[in-house]
Amino acid sequence: AQKITQTQPGMFVQEKEAVTLDCTYDTSDPSYGLFWYKQPSSGEMIFLIYQGSYDQQNATEGRYSLNFQKARKSANLVISASQLGDSAMYFCAMREPPYSSASKIIFGSGTRLSIRP
């Protein structure tokens, strides 16, 4: 079975610093898609960034970038210049192989990020 692992249950970071949230995944299929979502205390899941396994470049969206290391099966989220509003749970997710619109999306256990003023 495919699996997503997030090894950091919680992290504290000083405001304006950069932070890296770890995510490793387990799949033997060469084609897959990876997502990151943010869940503030309000509860609603918010999409942040997507990376396809065949994408040539690491994905970036504003202050969010993905450090995608395919050989290591890792897809770490980097948040630059952290802000107080970044305090939330962060989830890594993967669309399971076979990579198609018919396959399910699974989530990791999450990392709780707290930004200190």
Partner 1 sequence: GAGVSQSPRYKVAKRGQDVALRCDPISGHVSLFWYQQALGQGPEFLTYFQNEAQLDKSGLPSDRFFAERPEGSVSTLKIQRTQQEDSAVYLCASSQGQKNEKLFFGSGTQLSVL
Give residues in contact with partner 1 (CB under 8 A).
4, 6, 33, 35, 37, 42-47, 50, 52, 91, 95, 99-110, 112
Q: How far is the CB of 50 from partner 1 (least distance, A)?
A: 6
* Nearest residue (CB) to partner 1, 35 versus 81: 35
Residue 6 contacts residue 92 (beta carbons within 8 Å): yes
Q: How far is the CB of 76 from partner 1 (least distance, A)?
A: 17
Distance between CA 90 and CA 48 in Å, rounded?
9
Distance separating the N- and C-terminal Cα atoms of the chain: 41
Residue 21 contacts residue 76 (beta carbons within 8 Å): yes
* Nearest residue (CB) to partner 1, 71 versus 102: 102
Q: How far is the CB of 65 from partner 1 (least distance, A)?
A: 17
Distance between CA 26 and CA 102 in Å, rounded?
19
* Nearest residue (CB) to partner 1, 20 versus 50: 50
| Closest residue by Cα to residue 9 from 93, 114, 80, 81 | 114
* Nearest residue (CB) to partner 1, 4 versus 77: 4
